[in-house]
């Protein structure tokens, strides 16, 4: 079974209470359960993590690179400015799918640029929490035969 890290950046633990009109009413714990359940059905061993700390996120990315683990990443605000995260992600050794609950291109102009997208295998955005399920399906297809 392929192990996958689902990494989430700043403020995502606040899902369900943070701007539900944009991010929906699903809590972070419910999102984590959704990801684990979707992963199981796809033959993936999914571990969901969240941090507001850029350094911790970079350590997790290094762990994934060292262990050749695919990543589904919602970098949240780090998307738009974290060159340190981008440089860590450039060292990836397995598929990386950038994911967003909302569509950043349809939001404020500062959200239109992703410094992460250029080093990701692909990006899925705008489908609510289903974006994560779609990303996990992509990882399953990209890693078929690897485990």
Residues tagged active-site: 23, 100
102 is in an annotated binding site: yes
What is the tally of helices (H) and strands (E) in the chain?
Answer: 5, 5
> Please, what is the Cα angle at 106 between 24 and 57, to 5 degrees?
65
Q: What count of residues does the chain have?
A: 147
Region of 76 (left: φ > 0; alpha: ψ -120 to 50; beta: rest) is: left
123, containing H or E segment: strand 122-125
Measured distance CA(136)–CA(132) in Å, rounded: 6
111 is in an annotated binding site: yes
Number of other residues whose CB lies within 10 A of the CB of residue 41:
12
101 is in an annotated binding site: yes
87 is in an annotated binding site: yes
29 is in an annotated binding site: no
58 is in an annotated binding site: no
Binding residues for substrate, as ranges, are: 74, 80, 87, 101-102, 111
Residues marked as binding? 74, 80, 87, 101-102, 111
């Amino acid at each position: 079974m392929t192990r996958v890290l689902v990494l989430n950046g700043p403020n995502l633990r606040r899902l369900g209470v943070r701007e539900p009109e944009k991010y929906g009413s699903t809590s972070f714990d419910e999102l984590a359960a959704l990801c684990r359940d979707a992963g199981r059905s796809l033959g993936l061993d999914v571990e969901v993590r969240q941090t507001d700390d850029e350094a911790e996120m970079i350590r997790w990315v290094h762990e994934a690179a060292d262990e050749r683990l695919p990543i589904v990443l919602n970098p949240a605000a780090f998307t738009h400015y974290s060159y340190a995260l981008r440089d860590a992600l450039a060292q990836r050794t397995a598929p990386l799918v950038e994911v967003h609950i909302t569509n950043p291109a349809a939001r404020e102009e500062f959200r239109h640029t992703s410094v992460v997208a250029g080093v990701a295998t692909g990006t899925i955005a705008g489908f609510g929490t289903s974006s994560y399920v779609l990303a996990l399906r992509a990882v399953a297809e990209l890693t078929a035969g690897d485990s």
